Amino acid sequence: MGGLTRGSGTNTFEVSTEFARVLGAECYYVAAPIYFPSSERRTTLLTHYGLAEAMRRAKVAHIAFVSCGDLSSRSLLATTQIVSESLPELRRVGAVGDLLGVFLDAAGMRSTIR
């Protein structure tokens, strides 16, 4: 999903590590911002050897476990500056939550700010 710059009551790194341990799997982190200010910065950061390896492994994975979030005040993503500033517009276009940082409406369709 990408790294957020502050924590919550649940440490996502610990959850991922423990889940991998239970499954007998390796755990790779995407310790990078979920949103980038430009495509050039995204490309530059994703060429870092650690992130590039995690992304390479993700592309060849056969199974992925993902979770979705809501847009309430309990959502860590919704409290980040970039998202909180956009909440009125996101709600206007029907967004009720996100999946991997992509905002969705109640039917699960992508909600995009224009």
pLDDT at position 5: 54
Is residue 76 one of the residues assigned to a domain?
yes
Regarding whether 73 and 55 lie in a shared domain, the answer is no
pLDDT at position 6: 58
pLDDT at position 82: 87
Distance CA 71, CA 9 (A): 17
pTM of the prediction? 0.74
Question: Which helix or strand (DSSP H or E) is residue 58 part of?
Answer: helix 49-59
pLDDT at position 10: 65
Count how many Cα atoms sit within 13 Å of the Cα of residue 62 in the half-sphere of its side chain. Answer: 0
Distance CA 109, CA 114 (A): 15
Distance CA 97, CA 100 (A): 10
What are the mean pLDDT values of the chain's consecutive 10-residue runs (114 residues total)? Answer: 56 84 90 87 90 92 86 86 92 94 94 84
CA distances from 19 to 14, 41, 74, 91 (A): 8, 31, 23, 33
Regarding whether 55 and 26 lie in a shared domain, the answer is yes
Distance CA 92, CA 37 (A): 23
What is the SS3 assignment for 39?
helix
Is residue 4 one of the residues assigned to a domain?
no
Provide the domain limits for residue 23.
12-59
Regarding whether 47 and 84 lie in a shared domain, the answer is no
